[in-house]
Structure 1
């Protein structure tokens, strides 16, 4: 049985994080029509906008068998990304990372999620997030509908 630990991201984690990003990023589009074909993943070291966004964030990693199996990263009160290795999906990694990050963030937290990704929306709802609107987003120039979600007093 694998033991999981959560810890802060360190610079020396970058290559393992990049591998996790490549294996997990496309999953957020898996419920979009032709999602894997329409949204090909660019490796993190070559995706300047995502790399910049990540470098401006605080991040926590979940480690299992000495390798990252999940990461959550945020800036101030906005969760920028949550990635979980598909091999451990459904084992509580996302929930544990969300809980750990929320414990470090303020009372009001926001995030955006691909609107077709119902399983992760249910996770966020179980953590007291609710939908506050929809907007058009883009990944690699391809449009996708995002659900904006919030938790706590916003205003």
Structure 2
């Protein structure tokens, strides 16, 4: 691939930051679960030493790290990964659909600030991935990558 797709570089960076924040939540403990909006139930489980919050949060961090790798691969920073087009379209769609949850949230009587901000942030992530994927589309084809 010629040049770097700065949209996918940015998307990969954003996903990497989100993955690291999730690891930070695990290390930060119950108060971090509360601050980052995981909910009181998750915070209380973490207070009791229940492994479930850490397992769930680590799983999310791993998914975000993989998504980051796909963005970096699509941008040409690392080697090509399997199913590049499919993965980048799916990642873009998941971020966008999650972000668009802001619409029903705004119809609720009192949406939380966390719900509003997290939806807007994720919507931004989805837009960055979608633009980057669209710009990289021709270079992501298998035929072109074998030449």
Between the two structures, name the one with larger relative contact order (CA 8 Å, sep ≥ 6). Answer: 2
- The structure in which a higher percent of residues are strand is 1
Q: With the length of structure 1 as denominator, give the TM-score of the two structures.
A: 0.29
- The structure in which a higher percent of residues are helix is 2
